[in-house]
Chain A
Amino acid sequence: MRMWAQSHLCQKPQRTPSVLAAAFALAFLILGAGQSASAFPAFARKYGLRCSACHESWPMLNYFGQKFKDNGYQLMNDRDAPIWQNNGYWPVTFRFTPFWSRESTNKVATDQSPTGQQKLTATGFSFGGLDILSGGTLEKNISFLFVPSSDETGAFHFESANVRFDNLLHSPWFNVKVGKFELDSFISEKRELNLSANGATYQLFHFIPVGDGNIFGQLGDNQLAVEWMGHSYNDRTRISITAFNSVDGSPDRPYGQNSYSWFIAGSQAFNTGKLGVQRVGGYAVLGQAATTYATSGGAPVTGSGVGNKDFYRVGFEGLFYLGPKLDFQVFTQHGSDSAWFGQGYGDFIDNPTGVCQSATGPQPCNNTPGTQLIPGARRPTWNGAFVETHVVWHPQFTIFQRSEWVRMSQQSTPGTPSNLGDIDNYVIGYRYNPFMTSRAGFAFHNEFSWLRQRGTAPDGISDLSTNSLMAGFDFAF
């Protein structure tokens, strides 16, 4: 849910200005719905370890936690199978975040403003949705994760639902996961420390150029997929290949029957003495998705998608430690969509009333036979990066910041301002855990975030900027 709101807020305002207000009002709702699949006190209870053993600051994993996850939620000792657990053990965790926040948007379309747009600011108490995380092992080397997640109204969706066969052939290089899950980027949006409405999303994990109809390349969204993942015994080397349906992780939105995309990631960690263990890697999303649909009475027929067009995202990711108290996460992306997506085609099932340009004029966003793009239409292309810093003052207190930039390098439609859709996003905050045990996680969280996207205000000319200030209590038990 959060991802939809975010993409509409930041990517398509000129087409759906009313969504701005809705997104603004939904800011509170957004906050809690996004951090599914995060910290697991149930794991800590199972193994008798403090949360801090696996989390640099929960929910962000440290090296040990990453290894635990890559082993299929196993420490690889004789206590992994559930048969060794006390009968009372139940692998379930709840996560909840009550908070206060101030949300401000510089330009919102209103009837009362002489210019048609005005600044709006709202404050109030709210709470995030509820995440119910159940995960662990069914037997030695068979693991699972199941995460029903709700927004604050109690509307649930399944954020994750997967089973993984670990260490096939007695080798850590053969692990197969099937179901709905997060793509295997070791920089995880599901485990980031940020919680505020404008900070809780890695923009590059969801970036869609203005007017683009490709919702399928969002590597931050959990996907319906099968994954092969392999890693060395000590997890220094890790590699994965994932094949997923181009449906943005939603089985109830069957865009096409034959649209598959691929995610490939690999990384290598190396020891640098007192500085710590550094990790560098790369990833690529190589995808295709439908742009042509059969209709019935003008309405799109689900599952009828054909006319696949391509897209890709490639980039570098690194996690660098400068001693035990300071680390940097670096993530870059070069992305490109087919010109068809750039002209708005693709997202027809969810947005059947959208209007796309063609050589013969505006038409529904359905690439029906004979449709031709406007002359000069090109692949929208962009580059971006973010740097996230963590100062782990001590295991219970972490200060963080993130600076993120996305820059269009080629607009799909000739003559479009070159910076339309460019994003700047800055987040700063801290997280304090008053206690640290293996029974529950509790953090006092304070954060400020600021987001600006060029040229996407309701007037279609000026910039749209929003900021969030939030203070809350994040807890999992």
Chain B
Amino acid sequence: MRVFKSVYGCAGVLILVVAAGVAALAQEAPEVGPKAPLAVKPMQSHVGSMTGHAAAAKSDYRRYCAGCHGDYGDSNGENAVWLDPKPRDFTIATFKCRSTPTGTLPTDEDLFNTIGRGVTNSNMPIWNALGPQMRADLVAYIKIFSPRWEKEKAGEPIKIPAEPPVTIESIAHGKALFTKLECWKCHGLHGEGDGPSAATLTDSKDLPIRPYNFAAGKNDSRFKCGDTNQDLYKIFMTGLDGTPMPSFADVIQPNDAWDLVHFLRTLQVNRHGKENEVLSAAHGVIPPYVEKTPAPAAAPSDNKSPGGGN
């Protein structure tokens, strides 16, 4: 009898506990909680020899990404309201960090690199802890949110010419371009993000946006889209789509762009790099840039060069 009571006592309590669990699980989900997942289209990505599959990333997207980017990729995750800047809206398929011309879709590798690199000055972490295949799958998953990926192909990556040597002249030319192209209007004369237009800038979703402050940060100062000179070159030759930062590809020549890169690096005053070394060697003074006038066509002359024969 004692055993009988004990068994039923246990069973009763177990039922209570399970019932409590079921009741708890049946609570209405909070408004900020997960929604029904989107149907996964069979999108793919191709990064190197890897092929990413959207279906394989469904769970990882919920685990790592949806909190900010939202279950529907519309940047309305439960954290989005607290974030500044706001997370990327995948439904419009507009991306800042690309190797492709402005207005075009990025390559799969661009997105893959962004995930692994993170985005400085934002809440986007460095996700290089995720395996490459997982990141490739996530790239494919991102594509399910916008029909653009089904209608358009990624743009052709821009060509980046070899970087010329850093000289005080290239820095001086870059500074002249910085003025001529009116970069200072947003970024400020000293690149501190405090130009006269800075306070008025908004992104493509009419949200306030701040221009990059080159002077902030320490030696590890990074840009949103990387930390190499090539990355910086790409930024103003492709533009940061969705932001006021335009592409200058139609305005400046490749070598001029490199000069601008060299000057912008000197605005990162805390960075130890060859640009600041060259500037230090010039005692911190950037000489005025003298526009090189094209050499006049050689006038006919009767003078013969020395040693010239007939």
Interface residues of chain A, those whose CB is within 8 Å of chain B, are 47-50, 52-53, 63-64, 66-67, 75-79, 100, 102, 121, 123, 170, 234-235, 271, 273-274, 276-277, 324-325, 394-395, 432, 434-439, 444, 446, 471, 473
Contact = CB atoms under 8 A, between A and B. Distances in A.
A52 B68 CA distance: 13
Contacts of B32: 437
B14 A438 contact: no
A438 B18 contact: no
Contact of A123 (B13, B118, B130): B13
Interface in B234-289: none
Interface stretch (B59-67, B100-108, B174-182, B295-303): B59-67
Contacts of A53: 63-64, 67, 125
A435 B60 contact: no
A78 B10 contact: no
B33 A435 contact: yes
A438 B79 contact: yes
B294 interface: no
Interface stretch (B19-27, B146-154, B161-169, B195-203): B19-27
B63 A77 contact: no
Given A53-B67, A63-B129, A271-B132, A78 B59 contact: no
Contacts of A438: 67, 78-79
B129 A436 contact: no
Interface in B60-119: 60, 62-64, 66-68, 78-79, 82-83, 118
A128 B114 CA distance: 43
Nearest to A392: B59
A432 B18 CA distance: 13
By Cβ-Cβ distance, the 3 closest A-B pairs, closest first, are: A48-B79, A50-B67, A52-B63
9 contacts: A48-B79, A48-B82, A48-B123, A49-B64, A78-B217, A102-B10, A234-B129, A271-B132, A437-B67
B34 interface: yes
A76 B130 CA distance: 15
What class of interface size applies to chain B in its complex with A? 35 or more
A77 B118 contact: yes
A170 B219 contact: yes
Contact of A434 (B27, B129, B133): B27
Contact of A50 (B27, B56, B63, B118): B63
B131 interface: yes
Contacts of A432: 25
B142 to A, nearest CB: 17
A234 B220 contact: no
A444 B25 contact: yes
B30 A435 contact: yes
B33 A437 contact: yes
A243 to B, nearest CB: 29
Nearest to B124: A77
B59 A324 contact: yes
B223 interface: no
A446 B27 CA distance: 19
B130 A63 contact: yes
Contacts of A324: 56, 59-60, 134
B1 interface: no
A52 B64 contact: yes
B127 interface: yes
B68 to A, nearest CB: 6
A52 B21 CA distance: 21
Nearest to B64: A53
Contact of A100 (B13, B33, B118, B120): B13
B6 interface: yes
Given A78-B217, A102-B10, A434 B63 contact: no
Contacts of B64: 49-50, 52-53, 64
Contacts of A439: 78
Nearest to A471: B17
A227 B23 CA distance: 46
Contacts of B13: 100, 123
Interface string B179-194: 0000000000000000
B69 to A, nearest CB: 11
B229 interface: no
Contacts of B25: 432, 434, 444
Nearest to B10: A123
A304 to B, nearest CB: 48
Nearest to B116: A234
A47 B66 contact: no
Given A48-B82, A395-B63, A444-B24, A471 B120 contact: no
B36 to A, nearest CB: 14
Nearest to B53: A274
B176 to A, nearest CB: 31
B6 to A, nearest CB: 7
Contacts of B78: 437-439
Contact of B130 (A48, A64, A273): A64
Nearest to A444: B21
A64 B129 contact: yes
Contact of B62 (A49, A52, A66, A123): A52
B128 interface: yes
Nearest to B68: A48
Contact of B59 (A235, A394, A471): A394
Contacts of A49: 64, 67-68, 79, 125
A123 B123 contact: no
Contacts of A123: 9-10, 13
A284 to B, nearest CB: 26
B42 to A, nearest CB: 17
